[in-house]
A and B are shown apart, each in its own frame.
Chain A
């Protein structure tokens, strides 16, 4: 019954035309030269930043296993005075944002990774690793006895460090190769960007997600290959769900006051994600993505800087502008993911298949209804 309800409503759905665009091979983001610069500039710097993030997340997962005082976790093992000074001077990548994203992903859950963390098999893996790790640490042994979930929860978090690190490794490579193609002049349209990202996602879809740590010279499998966790379904889709769509409420714009009830008790109804976010407050207090924008600003390609220099405030409001560009690029990534996930494939020609694809898309259009999709349809520098 719901099926027929849907198809009737399709005609009046305000976002139906976006679904039609995807079905006809067009893109969610209008194909304009400005959009190409913005999206490429954003993805170019994002690729570089993700490379740093991914390396660090994997570093933490691999070398800081149950280290309760990970003072040098952001140093990637490179502990020397110069690096320390740069760290002190905050002349560095804001790895805190990667952790923030990791926590959001873990908190929202979803996908095979989340489900595996609640299995007995996982618990057994953990117990083995914990036993090895705290063999000579009576304090932690007591803690583990009194608070049995404490260390296991920490390992769950480490799994997300590792999972997100592996996910971003792939994404970083996709964006970096895309940027290289753009510099060679191979990319001129939004559709090409979408295509490139989609191909990258599809190519690595079945890449296994595993995690094992070395304790005292012995490897302990935490997420064994036998768990069958894969890139697309177990990290990419949960990532899109928790970061692009749900996100977390920003203290700088939303009140946590329980009586004010500004935050939904149901996380699945959260719309604080990257596709919904308002770029304007970026740079202010209580807006964590500012950290990402700052990192991207520090790795901004020249052509992007030239492009921004045409605006009224030039680099004065660069973080807001990067955020707006980033949002546009994330609609391209979403677009690529949707195309890649079409149940009957992008090249479907049978009317029934197209209808199935349409129904699949309409569900997503519902969710995009309150996103910034309408806002990114305008010319980026239009109002300047």
Chain B
């Protein structure tokens, strides 16, 4: 069944690229969407079929492939990959839907997008280290091309930077995988969480360090992040949506899947430092975001900050924080995708993302009030306002990490506060005030922005809906995640000692009246 998730987009890519007759942009888009809708339906079918009682891999597929390389076609799905697979299916569809109807070179464009869907899905379900790595690298090339061909003015620079960074990331990950297999004496690259047990501490540490830097580039963590703002700014909107919503999660997914349990001995020792690293990343990303005047760059730096929470949660290594790790990935996926979508609509309609000139886009007649409202909700979700998914995922992260690393958690909370600062600046500048899209306007040159169509709004509204659904009913998300992450925690041979944890048993039959009345105090 999992192969379907890979085959459908791959077939789609082949169909679109090999369509015998001339394929108009609109038709290529429609064709890709058909494939992606089927893909999404299959993903949701997997969701329904998913057995919550089973904490191991499900829908396992195992086909021997290149045995001499140790490369096997090993697929499996658990509560860690399931939400990410679904997000991938969903956001791929959103990205295609949000693509321009008259995109240049539609065949190449849509087949590359479908290849990304294929590769990312592959990476999330691969249970063979080498297979994971191949998918991980495979996603890189289409993304590179998508930035390099359909990007902004400096797309060459940004794309190359992205390529080089990610290639280094790949080399480090590969080196770590090879080292792991070689040192542990495993017969193949088939992943098992116990591979590294028994290795000397220092060997584990080197392998983990390689993974940390390799995935740290992808996540990205400070100071390995500089490719991200450039890539986002140059990429077109659908690519940014995919990049922020899904591709960055490959980094956290890889680190969490292959790093935490496998190297738990070292992980637990390094955890406080990793938490500090998360703090640095969060604060750095947030502070850098404040100074940005390009909306997209601001959102990109915000991504750096918010992905730091995932590291914080992973470092905290307790059952709750592990749920937070996955939940935060999902919630960041929704929120950042929405943010990039909305910024994309603004850019499409006004031709600028410059916060120095944009004003008053909420104007109900000539602006984009619905898109503006979606933006307000998105930034509020990102700033952790309850009712939307950002709050509860961050709350779980904080509550999980607080018992492990209280100071680091509190500092990361500052990042939440700073999120409010920069995003409020964004909303206030671009959406409040009197409508304007350029610096000096005479009255007769009041901007008349192109109409915001349903096509612009629909994906944004869909994501807004999801923000609320999972924000108001987070158990719909945690129920898929929790069994797996708990199993992962239990599989850790060494647990992190909790610094400040003293959860008392729920007090039985405790009941006192609030504002206990004594003496005449009850009297007014």
Contact = CB atoms under 8 A, between A and B. Distances in A.
Nearest to B442: A375
Report the interface size class on chain A: 20 to 34
A375 B363 contact: no
Given A317-B365, A317-B366, A375-B444, A280 B451 contact: no
- Binding site secondary structure of chain B: loop
A383 B448 contact: yes
Interface stretch (A17-25, A152-160, A171-179, A281-289): A281-289
Interface stretch (A88-96, A205-213, A308-316): A308-316
B446 A383 contact: yes
B435 interface: yes
Contacts of A318: 365
A320 B367 CA distance: 11
Contact of B446 (A253, A280, A314, A319): A280
A316 B451 CA distance: 8
Contacts of B443: 278, 372, 375
Contacts of A311: 448
Contacts of A384: 448
Contact of B448 (A281, A284, A313): A313
Interface string A367-384: 000001001001000111
Contact of B450 (A312, A320, A375): A312
B364 interface: yes
B366 A280 contact: yes
Nearest to A319: B365
A253 B448 CA distance: 20
Contacts of A375: 443-444
A382 B434 contact: no
Indicate the member of A280, A313, A318, A378 with the most B CB atoms within 10 Å.
A280
Contacts of B451: 312-314, 316
Nearest to A285: B364
Contact of A382 (B366, B444, B449): B444
Contact of A281 (B434, B444, B445, B449): B434
B434 A317 contact: no
Contacts, number: 48
Indicate the member of B435, B443, B449 with the most A CB atoms within 10 Å.
B443
A378 B446 CA distance: 13
Interface in B113-156: none
A283 B363 contact: yes
Indicate the member of B366, B443, B449, B451 with the most A CB atoms within 10 Å.
B366
B366 A383 contact: no
B365 A378 contact: no
Given A280-B434, A281-B434, A313 B366 contact: yes
Contacts of B448: 311-313, 317, 383-384
B444 A284 contact: no
Interface string A284-323: 1000000000000000000000000001111011111000
Interface in B437-494: 443-446, 448-451
B444 A378 contact: yes
Report the interface size class on chain B: 10 to 19
A383 B363 CA distance: 18
Contacts of A314: 451
A320 B445 contact: no
A312 B434 CA distance: 20
A316 B364 CA distance: 9
Contact of B364 (A284, A312, A372, A382): A284
A317 B364 CA distance: 8
Interface string B294-307: 00000000000000
Contacts of B444: 375, 378, 382-383
Contacts of B364: 283-284
Contacts of A312: 448-451
Interface in B345-381: 362-366
A383 B448 CA distance: 8
Interface in A299-354: 311-314, 316-320
A284 B363 contact: yes
Given A375-B443, A383-B444, A280 B363 contact: yes
A329 B451 CA distance: 27
Interface in A247-304: 253, 278, 280-284
B428 to A, nearest CB: 16
Interface in A93-110: none
A278 B363 CA distance: 13
Contacts of A313: 365-366, 448-449, 451
A317 B366 CA distance: 6
A194 to B, nearest CB: 22
A371 to B, nearest CB: 11
A254 to B, nearest CB: 12
Nearest to A281: B434
Nearest to A282: B365
Contacts of B366: 280, 313, 317, 320
Contacts of A372: 443
Contacts of B363: 280-281, 283-284
Nearest to A311: B448
Interface string B16-55: 0000000000000000000000000000000000000000
Contacts of B362: 284
Contacts of A282: 365
Indicate the member of A253, A314, A320 with the most B CB atoms within 10 Å.
A320
Contacts of B446: 280, 383
Contacts of B434: 253, 278, 280-281
B360 to A, nearest CB: 8
A316 B434 CA distance: 18
Nearest to A321: B365
Given A278-B443, A383-B445, A316 B365 contact: yes
Nearest to A380: B444
Nearest to A382: B444
A279 to B, nearest CB: 8
A284 B431 CA distance: 13
Interface in B412-448: 434-435, 443-446, 448
A378 B443 CA distance: 11
A267 B435 CA distance: 28
Interface in A167-221: none
Contacts of A382: 444
Nearest to A280: B446
Nearest to B435: A280
A375 B434 CA distance: 17
A378 B444 CA distance: 7
A10 B443 CA distance: 26
A283 B435 CA distance: 12
A318 B443 CA distance: 18
A316 B444 CA distance: 19
A309 to B, nearest CB: 12
A314 B450 CA distance: 10
A301 to B, nearest CB: 20
Interface of A: 253, 278, 280-284, 311-314, 316-320, 372, 375, 378, 382-384
Q: Closest 4 CB pairs between A and B?
A: A283-B365, A317-B365, A320-B365, A378-B444
Given A313-B365, A375-B443, 14 more contacts: A278-B443, A280-B363, A281-B434, A284-B362, A284-B365, A312-B448, A316-B365, A317-B366, A319-B365, A320-B366, A372-B443, A383-B444, A383-B445, A383-B446
25 contacts: A278-B434, A280-B363, A280-B446, A281-B434, A283-B363, A283-B364, A283-B365, A284-B362, A284-B364, A312-B448, A312-B449, A313-B365, A313-B366, A313-B449, A314-B451, A316-B365, A316-B451, A317-B365, A318-B365, A319-B365, A320-B365, A372-B443, A378-B444, A383-B445, A384-B448
Interface of B: 362-366, 434-435, 443-446, 448-451
